[in-house]
Structure 1
Amino acid sequence: MKKERYLMIFAVGTLLFSGCGKPDYSQPYVNEERTASPEETTEAEIISPETSKTEPVSGADVSVTPTEEREAAASVELNTYMGQPISAVLTDFDNMQDIGCTDGSLGYSNGAVTFEAREEIVTFISIDGDCDYTLEGISYGSERDFALQLLTSAGWTQTEGAETFFHFKRGDAEELSLYLEDGLHVSGISSFGPMPSQTSA
Protein backbone atom coordinates (compact mmCIF):
# COMPACT_ATOMS: atom_id res chain seq x y z
CA MET A 1 0.00 0.00 0.00
CA LYS A 2 2.84 2.37 0.91
CA LYS A 3 4.65 1.51 -2.31
CA GLU A 4 1.58 2.31 -4.43
CA ARG A 5 1.15 5.63 -2.56
CA TYR A 6 4.76 6.66 -3.24
CA LEU A 7 4.43 5.72 -6.90
CA MET A 8 1.28 7.87 -7.19
CA ILE A 9 3.00 10.89 -5.56
CA PHE A 10 6.02 10.50 -7.86
CA ALA A 11 3.79 10.34 -10.95
CA VAL A 12 1.87 13.49 -9.96
CA GLY A 13 5.12 15.37 -9.21
CA THR A 14 6.60 14.40 -12.57
CA LEU A 15 3.45 15.60 -14.35
CA LEU A 16 3.50 18.97 -12.54
CA PHE A 17 7.21 19.57 -13.22
CA SER A 18 6.90 18.79 -16.93
CA GLY A 19 4.15 21.44 -17.35
CA CYS A 20 5.51 24.36 -15.21
CA GLY A 21 9.19 25.13 -14.88
CA LYS A 22 10.56 23.86 -18.19
CA PRO A 23 10.38 25.95 -21.42
CA ASP A 24 8.85 24.27 -24.45
CA TYR A 25 11.53 24.44 -27.18
CA SER A 26 9.27 22.79 -29.73
CA GLN A 27 7.34 26.08 -30.22
CA PRO A 28 8.77 29.06 -32.16
CA TYR A 29 10.03 32.00 -30.06
CA VAL A 30 7.69 34.98 -29.96
CA ASN A 31 9.02 38.35 -28.76
CA GLU A 32 6.35 39.69 -26.44
CA GLU A 33 8.00 43.11 -25.93
CA ARG A 34 5.47 45.89 -25.40
CA THR A 35 4.88 48.04 -28.50
CA ALA A 36 4.18 51.74 -27.96
CA SER A 37 0.84 53.03 -29.15
CA PRO A 38 0.72 55.53 -32.08
CA GLU A 39 -0.22 58.27 -29.62
CA GLU A 40 2.91 57.69 -27.52
CA THR A 41 5.12 57.64 -30.62
CA THR A 42 3.97 61.05 -31.85
CA GLU A 43 4.33 62.73 -28.47
CA ALA A 44 8.13 62.48 -28.39
CA GLU A 45 10.98 61.94 -30.81
CA ILE A 46 12.09 58.84 -32.67
CA ILE A 47 15.72 57.68 -32.47
CA SER A 48 17.00 56.13 -35.67
CA PRO A 49 19.08 52.97 -34.94
CA GLU A 50 21.13 53.51 -38.09
CA THR A 51 22.28 57.01 -37.19
CA SER A 52 21.63 57.18 -33.44
CA LYS A 53 20.34 60.70 -34.07
CA THR A 54 17.00 62.09 -33.08
CA GLU A 55 14.56 62.71 -35.88
CA PRO A 56 11.61 65.14 -35.57
CA VAL A 57 8.21 63.55 -35.44
CA SER A 58 5.20 64.93 -37.27
CA GLY A 59 3.15 67.01 -34.86
CA ALA A 60 6.01 67.52 -32.38
CA ASP A 61 6.66 71.02 -31.03
CA VAL A 62 9.80 72.69 -32.46
CA SER A 63 11.14 75.35 -30.10
CA VAL A 64 12.63 78.64 -31.25
CA THR A 65 16.38 78.80 -30.71
CA PRO A 66 17.96 81.55 -28.55
CA THR A 67 19.60 82.93 -31.70
CA GLU A 68 16.23 83.32 -33.40
CA GLU A 69 14.83 85.03 -30.31
CA ARG A 70 17.72 87.52 -30.28
CA GLU A 71 17.30 88.26 -33.99
CA ALA A 72 13.60 88.98 -33.43
CA ALA A 73 14.41 91.31 -30.55
CA ALA A 74 17.05 93.11 -32.65
CA SER A 75 14.39 94.19 -35.17
CA VAL A 76 13.42 97.20 -32.98
CA GLU A 77 14.28 100.16 -35.21
CA LEU A 78 15.49 103.32 -33.44
CA ASN A 79 14.93 105.59 -36.44
CA THR A 80 11.21 105.50 -35.64
CA TYR A 81 12.08 107.99 -32.86
CA MET A 82 13.54 110.49 -35.32
CA GLY A 83 11.38 113.64 -35.33
CA GLN A 84 9.51 112.53 -32.20
CA PRO A 85 9.44 114.34 -28.82
CA ILE A 86 12.47 113.54 -26.67
CA SER A 87 10.06 112.76 -23.81
CA ALA A 88 9.16 109.50 -25.59
CA VAL A 89 12.79 108.40 -25.36
CA LEU A 90 12.95 109.03 -21.63
CA THR A 91 9.77 106.97 -21.20
CA ASP A 92 10.80 104.00 -23.36
CA PHE A 93 14.48 103.59 -22.41
CA ASP A 94 16.00 102.78 -19.03
CA ASN A 95 19.01 104.45 -17.39
CA MET A 96 19.07 107.46 -19.72
CA GLN A 97 21.41 110.14 -18.39
CA ASP A 98 21.74 113.79 -19.44
CA ILE A 99 25.04 114.09 -21.35
CA GLY A 100 25.22 117.86 -20.86
CA CYS A 101 25.08 119.30 -24.37
CA THR A 102 26.40 122.88 -24.53
CA ASP A 103 25.04 123.93 -27.94
CA GLY A 104 21.46 124.39 -26.83
CA SER A 105 20.34 120.86 -27.67
CA LEU A 106 19.24 118.11 -25.27
CA GLY A 107 21.13 114.84 -25.10
CA TYR A 108 20.58 111.56 -23.25
CA SER A 109 22.48 108.28 -23.28
CA ASN A 110 22.56 104.95 -21.44
CA GLY A 111 25.96 103.94 -22.81
CA ALA A 112 24.59 101.84 -25.66
CA VAL A 113 22.25 104.32 -27.38
CA THR A 114 22.28 108.13 -27.53
CA PHE A 115 19.53 110.59 -28.47
CA GLU A 116 19.85 114.32 -29.05
CA ALA A 117 17.05 116.81 -29.63
CA ARG A 118 16.55 120.34 -30.90
CA GLU A 119 13.50 122.20 -29.63
CA GLU A 120 12.51 118.99 -27.78
CA ILE A 121 12.43 117.05 -31.09
CA VAL A 122 14.84 114.14 -31.73
CA THR A 123 17.32 115.02 -34.50
CA PHE A 124 20.21 112.64 -33.74
CA ILE A 125 20.38 108.95 -32.76
CA SER A 126 23.41 106.72 -32.37
CA ILE A 127 24.24 103.16 -31.36
CA ASP A 128 27.51 103.09 -29.45
CA GLY A 129 27.53 99.60 -27.89
CA ASP A 130 26.04 96.12 -27.99
CA CYS A 131 22.25 96.29 -27.68
CA ASP A 132 19.04 94.85 -29.11
CA TYR A 133 18.31 97.76 -31.47
CA THR A 134 19.03 98.78 -35.06
CA LEU A 135 19.46 101.96 -37.08
CA GLU A 136 18.34 101.58 -40.70
CA GLY A 137 18.33 97.83 -40.06
CA ILE A 138 21.99 97.81 -38.95
CA SER A 139 22.95 96.61 -35.48
CA TYR A 140 26.14 96.80 -33.43
CA GLY A 141 28.50 94.12 -34.74
CA SER A 142 26.93 93.84 -38.22
CA GLU A 143 29.35 92.89 -40.99
CA ARG A 144 30.62 95.79 -43.11
CA ASP A 145 29.50 94.43 -46.49
CA PHE A 146 26.03 93.65 -45.19
CA ALA A 147 25.66 97.17 -43.76
CA LEU A 148 26.87 98.88 -46.94
CA GLN A 149 24.56 96.83 -49.13
CA LEU A 150 21.60 97.51 -46.84
CA LEU A 151 22.16 101.27 -46.93
CA THR A 152 22.60 101.34 -50.70
CA SER A 153 19.37 99.41 -51.23
CA ALA A 154 17.56 101.86 -48.90
CA GLY A 155 18.49 104.85 -51.06
CA TRP A 156 21.54 106.15 -49.17
CA THR A 157 24.40 107.63 -51.22
CA GLN A 158 27.97 107.21 -49.96
CA THR A 159 29.85 110.53 -49.76
CA GLU A 160 32.93 109.41 -47.81
CA GLY A 161 34.62 106.07 -47.33
CA ALA A 162 37.68 104.73 -45.55
CA GLU A 163 38.68 101.52 -43.82
CA THR A 164 37.04 102.42 -40.52
CA PHE A 165 34.53 105.15 -41.47
CA PHE A 166 31.74 105.66 -44.02
CA HIS A 167 29.40 108.61 -44.47
CA PHE A 168 26.09 108.65 -46.37
CA LYS A 169 23.39 111.11 -47.37
CA ARG A 170 19.78 110.64 -48.38
CA GLY A 171 17.91 113.63 -49.73
CA ASP A 172 18.74 117.08 -48.38
CA ALA A 173 18.26 116.53 -44.65
CA GLU A 174 19.32 112.97 -43.71
CA GLU A 175 22.88 111.87 -43.00
CA LEU A 176 24.34 108.69 -41.55
CA SER A 177 27.81 107.60 -40.39
CA LEU A 178 29.23 104.10 -39.91
CA TYR A 179 32.22 103.36 -37.67
CA LEU A 180 34.22 100.11 -37.90
CA GLU A 181 37.07 99.80 -35.40
CA ASP A 182 38.42 96.60 -36.96
CA GLY A 183 37.43 97.56 -40.50
CA LEU A 184 35.08 94.57 -40.71
CA HIS A 185 32.27 95.03 -38.18
CA VAL A 186 30.09 97.97 -37.19
CA SER A 187 31.23 99.44 -33.86
CA GLY A 188 29.03 102.54 -34.08
CA ILE A 189 26.31 104.06 -36.23
CA SER A 190 24.90 107.59 -36.12
CA SER A 191 21.81 108.95 -37.85
CA PHE A 192 21.19 112.68 -38.34
CA GLY A 193 17.65 113.81 -39.10
CA PRO A 194 16.21 117.14 -40.26
CA MET A 195 16.05 120.12 -37.91
CA PRO A 196 12.57 121.04 -36.64
CA SER A 197 12.68 124.22 -38.75
CA GLN A 198 13.22 122.10 -41.88
CA THR A 199 10.27 119.82 -41.16
CA SER A 200 7.91 122.70 -40.42
CA ALA A 201 8.83 124.65 -43.58
Structure 2
Amino acid sequence: MDKIPDKGAALIVYYHGAIPIDYYYFLANVIIQKGRTCHSVADHFLFKIPGFKLLLEVFSVMHGPQEECVQALKNGHLLGISPGGVREALFSDETYPLLWGKRKGFAQVAIDSKVAIIPMFTQNVREGFRSLGTLRFFRWLYETFRLPVAPVYGGFPVKFRTFLGDPIPYDPNVTASELAEKVNRAVQSLIDKHQRIPGNVLRALLERFHTKYKAE
Protein backbone atom coordinates (compact mmCIF):
# COMPACT_ATOMS: atom_id res chain seq x y z
CA MET A 1 0.00 0.00 0.00
CA ASP A 2 3.02 2.30 0.16
CA LYS A 3 2.64 2.69 -3.62
CA ILE A 4 -0.69 4.49 -3.05
CA PRO A 5 -0.18 8.21 -2.33
CA ASP A 6 -1.53 9.57 0.95
CA LYS A 7 -2.97 12.49 -0.98
CA GLY A 8 -3.27 13.57 -4.58
CA ALA A 9 -4.50 11.75 -7.66
CA ALA A 10 -3.35 8.53 -9.27
CA LEU A 11 -4.80 6.07 -11.77
CA ILE A 12 -4.81 2.40 -10.72
CA VAL A 13 -4.93 -0.02 -13.65
CA TYR A 14 -5.69 -3.66 -12.81
CA TYR A 15 -6.25 -7.10 -14.31
CA HIS A 16 -9.97 -8.01 -14.19
CA GLY A 17 -10.85 -11.40 -12.73
CA ALA A 18 -14.12 -13.21 -13.50
CA ILE A 19 -15.45 -11.49 -10.37
CA PRO A 20 -13.15 -8.68 -9.22
CA ILE A 21 -13.47 -9.50 -5.52
CA ASP A 22 -9.80 -8.61 -5.13
CA TYR A 23 -10.55 -5.08 -6.27
CA TYR A 24 -13.32 -4.76 -3.69
CA TYR A 25 -10.86 -5.70 -0.95
CA PHE A 26 -8.37 -3.26 -2.41
CA LEU A 27 -10.94 -0.46 -2.16
CA ALA A 28 -11.59 -1.40 1.47
CA ASN A 29 -7.86 -1.35 2.24
CA VAL A 30 -7.48 2.09 0.70
CA ILE A 31 -10.22 3.37 3.02
CA ILE A 32 -8.83 1.62 6.12
CA GLN A 33 -5.11 2.19 5.61
CA LYS A 34 -5.08 5.46 3.70
CA GLY A 35 -8.30 7.08 4.87
CA ARG A 36 -9.21 7.73 1.22
CA THR A 37 -11.90 6.64 -1.19
CA CYS A 38 -11.04 5.40 -4.66
CA HIS A 39 -13.40 6.17 -7.52
CA SER A 40 -13.95 3.36 -10.03
CA VAL A 41 -14.98 2.88 -13.66
CA ALA A 42 -17.53 0.15 -14.42
CA ASP A 43 -19.13 -1.17 -17.58
CA HIS A 44 -22.24 0.57 -18.92
CA PHE A 45 -24.46 -2.50 -18.49
CA LEU A 46 -24.20 -2.33 -14.69
CA PHE A 47 -25.94 1.04 -14.73
CA LYS A 48 -28.85 -0.53 -16.62
CA ILE A 49 -29.59 -3.07 -13.87
CA PRO A 50 -32.65 -1.85 -11.92
CA GLY A 51 -31.63 -0.38 -8.58
CA PHE A 52 -27.91 -0.54 -9.31
CA LYS A 53 -27.38 3.01 -10.51
CA LEU A 54 -27.93 4.60 -7.10
CA LEU A 55 -25.79 1.97 -5.38
CA LEU A 56 -22.94 2.56 -7.83
CA GLU A 57 -23.12 6.31 -7.35
CA VAL A 58 -22.92 5.88 -3.57
CA PHE A 59 -19.68 3.94 -4.04
CA SER A 60 -18.24 6.57 -6.42
CA VAL A 61 -18.53 4.33 -9.49
CA MET A 62 -18.81 5.97 -12.91
CA HIS A 63 -19.49 4.51 -16.35
CA GLY A 64 -16.34 6.02 -17.78
CA PRO A 65 -16.66 9.03 -20.08
CA GLN A 66 -13.10 10.32 -20.42
CA GLU A 67 -14.13 13.81 -19.37
CA GLU A 68 -15.62 12.53 -16.11
CA CYS A 69 -12.53 10.44 -15.36
CA VAL A 70 -10.22 13.38 -16.03
CA GLN A 71 -12.31 15.60 -13.77
CA ALA A 72 -12.20 13.06 -10.92
CA LEU A 73 -8.40 12.92 -11.16
CA LYS A 74 -8.04 16.68 -11.43
CA ASN A 75 -10.10 16.91 -8.25
CA GLY A 76 -7.39 14.88 -6.52
CA HIS A 77 -9.14 11.52 -6.31
CA LEU A 78 -7.77 8.04 -6.85
CA LEU A 79 -9.36 6.25 -9.80
CA GLY A 80 -9.38 2.53 -10.59
CA ILE A 81 -9.96 1.12 -14.07
CA SER A 82 -9.53 -2.20 -15.85
CA PRO A 83 -8.89 -1.72 -19.59
CA GLY A 84 -9.91 -5.35 -20.18
CA GLY A 85 -13.28 -4.82 -18.51
CA VAL A 86 -16.06 -7.32 -19.12
CA ARG A 87 -14.24 -8.96 -22.02
CA GLU A 88 -11.27 -9.79 -19.81
CA ALA A 89 -13.52 -10.87 -16.95
CA LEU A 90 -15.45 -13.36 -19.06
CA PHE A 91 -12.97 -14.51 -21.69
CA SER A 92 -9.58 -14.53 -20.04
CA ASP A 93 -8.68 -17.86 -18.43
CA GLU A 94 -6.20 -19.62 -16.15
CA THR A 95 -3.33 -18.56 -18.43
CA TYR A 96 -4.12 -14.92 -17.52
CA PRO A 97 -3.99 -13.20 -20.94
CA LEU A 98 -4.59 -9.46 -20.94
CA LEU A 99 -7.52 -8.74 -23.26
CA TRP A 100 -7.13 -5.00 -23.73
CA GLY A 101 -7.29 -4.90 -27.50
CA LYS A 102 -6.29 -1.45 -28.73
CA ARG A 103 -7.82 0.41 -25.81
CA LYS A 104 -5.88 3.52 -24.92
CA GLY A 105 -8.56 5.81 -23.46
CA PHE A 106 -7.29 5.17 -19.93
CA ALA A 107 -3.82 6.29 -21.01
CA GLN A 108 -5.23 9.47 -22.51
CA VAL A 109 -7.06 10.12 -19.24
CA ALA A 110 -3.76 9.87 -17.34
CA ILE A 111 -2.04 12.19 -19.82
CA ASP A 112 -4.82 14.77 -19.72
CA SER A 113 -4.85 14.63 -15.92
CA LYS A 114 -1.03 14.61 -15.62
CA VAL A 115 -1.10 11.79 -13.08
CA ALA A 116 0.92 8.63 -12.49
CA ILE A 117 -0.43 5.17 -13.30
CA ILE A 118 -0.10 2.36 -10.74
CA PRO A 119 -0.33 -1.19 -12.17
CA MET A 120 -2.09 -3.84 -10.08
CA PHE A 121 -2.51 -7.62 -10.22
CA THR A 122 -3.88 -10.20 -7.78
CA GLN A 123 -2.32 -13.64 -7.60
CA ASN A 124 -4.83 -16.51 -8.04
CA VAL A 125 -7.77 -14.23 -8.82
CA ARG A 126 -8.76 -16.63 -11.65
CA GLU A 127 -8.71 -19.56 -9.26
CA GLY A 128 -11.20 -17.93 -6.88
CA PHE A 129 -13.82 -17.59 -9.60
CA ARG A 130 -13.80 -18.93 -13.14
CA SER A 131 -15.91 -18.19 -16.19
CA LEU A 132 -17.31 -20.40 -18.93
CA GLY A 133 -16.79 -17.55 -21.37
CA THR A 134 -14.18 -19.55 -23.25
CA LEU A 135 -17.04 -21.62 -24.70
CA ARG A 136 -17.76 -20.41 -28.23
CA PHE A 137 -21.49 -19.84 -27.69
CA PHE A 138 -21.05 -17.35 -24.85
CA ARG A 139 -18.30 -15.50 -26.72
CA TRP A 140 -20.62 -15.23 -29.75
CA LEU A 141 -23.44 -13.84 -27.58
CA TYR A 142 -21.21 -11.13 -26.21
CA GLU A 143 -19.53 -10.13 -29.46
CA THR A 144 -22.86 -10.11 -31.35
CA PHE A 145 -25.31 -8.68 -28.80
CA ARG A 146 -23.02 -7.40 -26.03
CA LEU A 147 -24.73 -9.76 -23.58
CA PRO A 148 -22.32 -10.61 -20.72
CA VAL A 149 -24.12 -13.83 -19.77
CA ALA A 150 -21.27 -16.34 -19.53
CA PRO A 151 -21.79 -18.35 -16.30
CA VAL A 152 -19.29 -17.82 -13.50
CA TYR A 153 -18.58 -20.49 -10.91
CA GLY A 154 -16.29 -20.85 -7.92
CA GLY A 155 -16.09 -19.00 -4.65
CA PHE A 156 -13.09 -21.19 -3.83
CA PRO A 157 -11.23 -19.98 -0.70
CA VAL A 158 -7.90 -19.70 -2.47
CA LYS A 159 -5.06 -17.46 -1.32
CA PHE A 160 -5.18 -14.00 -2.90
CA ARG A 161 -2.21 -11.65 -2.82
CA THR A 162 -2.51 -8.27 -4.49
CA PHE A 163 0.62 -6.65 -5.88
CA LEU A 164 1.04 -3.01 -6.87
CA GLY A 165 3.83 -2.14 -9.28
CA ASP A 166 5.97 0.97 -9.29
CA PRO A 167 4.04 4.07 -10.39
CA ILE A 168 4.53 5.05 -14.02
CA PRO A 169 5.00 8.82 -13.87
CA TYR A 170 3.37 11.37 -16.14
CA ASP A 171 5.50 12.11 -19.20
CA PRO A 172 4.32 14.85 -21.57
CA ASN A 173 6.42 13.38 -24.37
CA VAL A 174 4.66 9.99 -24.40
CA THR A 175 1.61 9.38 -26.60
CA ALA A 176 -1.50 7.58 -25.38
CA SER A 177 -0.64 4.52 -27.49
CA GLU A 178 2.89 4.38 -26.09
CA LEU A 179 1.68 4.82 -22.53
CA ALA A 180 -1.03 2.15 -22.94
CA GLU A 181 1.62 -0.31 -24.15
CA LYS A 182 3.90 0.62 -21.28
CA VAL A 183 1.15 -0.02 -18.73
CA ASN A 184 0.25 -3.29 -20.46
CA ARG A 185 3.83 -4.45 -20.06
CA ALA A 186 3.85 -3.38 -16.41
CA VAL A 187 0.74 -5.41 -15.56
CA GLN A 188 2.04 -8.35 -17.60
CA SER A 189 5.29 -8.14 -15.65
CA LEU A 190 3.37 -8.50 -12.38
CA ILE A 191 1.57 -11.54 -13.78
CA ASP A 192 4.84 -13.10 -14.97
CA LYS A 193 6.50 -12.49 -11.60
CA HIS A 194 3.74 -13.55 -9.24
CA GLN A 195 1.44 -16.01 -11.04
CA ARG A 196 2.14 -19.63 -11.87
CA ILE A 197 0.79 -20.36 -15.34
CA PRO A 198 -1.56 -22.06 -15.85
CA GLY A 199 -3.38 -21.31 -12.63
CA ASN A 200 -4.48 -24.28 -10.56
CA VAL A 201 -7.29 -24.23 -7.99
CA LEU A 202 -5.82 -26.96 -5.76
CA ARG A 203 -2.40 -25.33 -5.69
CA ALA A 204 -3.99 -21.96 -4.91
CA LEU A 205 -5.92 -23.56 -2.04
CA LEU A 206 -2.74 -25.10 -0.64
CA GLU A 207 -1.08 -21.68 -0.70
CA ARG A 208 -3.28 -20.81 2.27
CA PHE A 209 -1.01 -23.08 4.32
CA HIS A 210 2.38 -21.89 3.13
CA THR A 211 3.82 -18.57 2.00
CA LYS A 212 6.14 -19.53 -0.83
CA TYR A 213 5.92 -16.94 -3.58
CA LYS A 214 6.57 -17.70 -7.23
CA ALA A 215 9.30 -15.05 -7.24
CA GLU A 216 11.20 -17.05 -4.61
- Indicate the TM-score class for this superposition, using the shorter chain for normalisation: under 0.3
Q: Rg bigger for which structure?
A: 1
* Structure number with higher strand proportion: 1
Normalising by structure 1, what TM-score?
A: 0.22
Structure number with the bigger relative contact order (C-alpha 8 A, sep ≥ 6) is 2
